[in-house]
Amino acid sequence: MQDSKETSEETVNWQTPEYVVVETALEVTAYALTDR
C-alpha cells in the first residue's frame, strides 16, 4: 500500500514541472488577495 502511494507521488512530481507549481501558487495567491 505504502509503495503504491510513494509511486503515485513520484509520478505526480514527475508530471508536475516547477513552472506549473509556480503558476498554481501565483493563481492561489492572486485569488487569496482578491478574496480579501
pLDDT, one tens digit per residue, over 1-36 is 556 566 666 666 566 678 888 899 999 999 999 987
Structure confidence at residue 17 (pLDDT):
76
C-alpha cell at 19: 513552472
Number of structural domains in the chain? 1
Residue 18: is it exposed, middle or buried by C-beta count within 10 angstroms (0-12/13-18/19+)? Answer: exposed
Task: Show the domain range for 14.
Answer: 2-35
Q: Is the pTM of this model over 0.75?
A: no
Structure confidence at residue 4 (pLDDT):
59
**CA–CA gap between residue 26 and residue 7 (Å, rounded):** 27
Structure confidence at residue 22 (pLDDT):
87
**CA–CA gap between residue 24 and residue 18 (Å, rounded):** 10
